[in-house]
Amino acid sequence: MNGPEGFAAHDGRDGAREPRIPPPRASVEDSGLPLPDFTDPGKPDPVPLELSHDVLKSLLGAWALAACSAAETAAVEEHLGDCGACADEARRLREAVGLLQRPESLDLDPALRTRVLESCLKRRPPRIPVPEWAAPYDAETARLDALLQDFGDAEWHAPVRLRWFEADEATSRRTTVAGVIAHLLSVDGLVAVALGLDDPLTEAAGGEPAAVGPAARTDAFWRTSHFPPTRSVRAPWREQSHRLLRTVSFTGGGTGGLMVPYGDFGLPLHDAMLDRSFECWVHAEDIAEAVDYPYEAPAPRHLHRMIDLAARMLPVALAERRRAGLSGAGRPPRLVQAGEPGRSLRLEIEGAAGGEWLIPLDSPGARGSADLEVAHVALDGVEFCRLAAGHVPPEEAAAGQVGDREAIRDVLFAAAGLSRM
């Protein structure tokens, strides 16, 4: 076996940029002796082995990499003095070793993607653009995929806790990083199915009757696929996300009315794609947290759309809370005609992604009204999204609040209730 001293002779591996050209072979050929570097002065020279030309030739690569035994090294070097062809090859291979460099593991700046694509599209406007409402999904799936890029087995199997709110209670499920990607693949599949694409669940489950709704689909996937999910789930997830983007680019504006069924409710395609971008970001954060990587919030213009979707879903969520008997007791909702102004809460979202929304409190059909404003809540954009993701309990959401406390409590709990597995 070659000791560490054998590497000193041509150690080009310490990150030096210049290829190390090995010392000329002439010195060996002149003397007929092995390079002194290869022998430890404290030990007797190894006795050269008797090896055939073919074997010696086959050792040249290992020799150049200092990856053979001391005896073999000595035998090769003695041979190089006699065999011009092998000496030429040996020199060439030695030089090649100098070209081996650690792959540069510079993380690509995720923001570069947006800059590069924008500059391309400016130079040649696309005939088939990615629709505006699908841009957040494009960006978020690309960011998550970049995060997964260098994950090893330890990261893929790192434990992750999925958290959400159900009936005003914090709920959670344990899975792994790979399990989260399987979850995204299963639920994105709802959009795929609505668009007439293959259902990833059918492929994983081998034709099990289709489960409905995000949680049931995820369970079905986890149960029927090779368990536990491994890194192999990344490619199908990524391919499906590319396929979705491609398909919605072609179907363009014509499918705005297409409903994506989520089981107990449905979302128009545009909103479903926004919802999926939101989930992708939220779970990317779960993953990043599990493996202790930093992860940024979405671009403000994308975050704004996600917040807008949540704000638009709040009136229905409030009505559901009333039906389920979860709303503040005591005050019956006032009846409001559809389209008429109703009591409203002003939701003010701070930051670059922010804005203001008037949330009608008494009926999803009512119109938000500044004149009938009964409460005002101010929240940071990312904080609001964490609330809507069920990652921050409504009682702890750092919100500035003025006005009707029941209304505020209802809206904050309704926001948390938008979350699901």
Partner 1 sequence: MTQKDAPPRWDRRMQQRLARGEAAALGELYDRFASLVHSLAHRVLGDERAADGVTREVFAHVWEHPDSYDPKQGPMRSWVAQVTHRLAVQRLRATESAALSPGGSGSAEELRSVEGKVRRASVAARADYIVHSMPAPLRAALELAYFQRRDYRQAAADLGVTEDEARRRLRLGLQLLSTAHDAGTPRGHGGAV
What is the closest distance, in whole angstroms, from the C-beta atom of residue 229 to partner 1 in the complex?
18
Tokens of 271: 């909103």
Per rule CB under 8 A, is residue 123 in the interface with partner 1?
Answer: yes
Of 53, 115, 223, 331, the one binding partner 1 by CB under 8 A: 115
What is the closest distance, in whole angstroms, from the C-beta atom of residue 290 to partner 1 in the complex?
22
Of 31, 58, 232, 337, the one binding partner 1 by CB under 8 A: 58
What is the closest distance, in whole angstroms, from the C-beta atom of residue 295 to partner 1 in the complex?
18
Tokens of 186: 């299963």
Q: Which stretch binds partner 1 (CB under 8 A): 107-115, 188-196, 199-207, 252-260?
A: 107-115
CA-CA-CA-CA torsion sign (415, 130, 293, 421):
positive
The partner residues of 266 in beta bridges, in order of sequence, read 261
By residue count, the chain amounts to 421
Q: Is 354 left (phi over 0), alpha (psi -120 to 50) or beta?
A: beta
Tokens of 116: 């590069």
Q: Which stretch binds partner 1 (CB under 8 A): 65-73, 213-221, 354-362, 380-388?
A: 65-73
Per rule CB under 8 A, is residue 369 in the interface with partner 1?
Answer: no
Per rule CB under 8 A, is residue 8 in the interface with partner 1?
Answer: no
CA geometry: angle 279, 285, 288, nearest 5 deg: 140
CB 177 within 8 A of CB 287: yes
What is the closest distance, in whole angstroms, from the C-beta atom of residue 121 to partner 1 in the complex?
6
What x-and-dash track marks residues 145-174 binding partner 1 by CB under 8 A?
x---x-------------------------
CB 190 within 8 A of CB 218: no
- Total interface residues for partner 1 by CB under 8 A: 58
Per rule CB under 8 A, is residue 21 in the interface with partner 1?
Answer: no
Picking from 121, 120, 118, 123, the residue whose alpha carbon sits closest to that of residue 139 is: 118
Per rule CB under 8 A, is residue 142 in the interface with partner 1?
Answer: yes
Of 20, 25, 113, 163, the one binding partner 1 by CB under 8 A: 113
**Strands, E assignment, 265-366:** 266-268, 341-350, 355-360
Per rule CB under 8 A, is residue 2 in the interface with partner 1?
Answer: yes
CA geometry: angle 78, 82, 87, nearest 5 deg: 85
Q: Which stretch binds partner 1 (CB under 8 A): 190-198, 209-217, 237-245, 359-367?
A: 237-245
Element housing 112 (H / E): helix 110-123
Per rule CB under 8 A, is residue 69 in the interface with partner 1?
Answer: yes
What is the closest distance, in whole angstroms, from the C-beta atom of residue 171 to partner 1 in the complex?
34
Q: Name the amino acid, one letter, at 322.
A: R
Q: Is 283 exposed, middle or buried (0-12, 13-18, 19+ CB in 10 A)?
A: buried
Contacts of 111 (CB under 8 A, 6+ apart): none
Of 33, 49, 51, 117, the one binding partner 1 by CB under 8 A: 117
Rule CB under 8 A: which residues touch partner 1?
1-2, 4, 7, 13, 17-19, 58-62, 64-65, 67-69, 89, 92-93, 95-97, 99-104, 106, 108-109, 112-113, 115-117, 119-121, 123-130, 138, 142, 145, 149, 238, 242, 245-246, 249
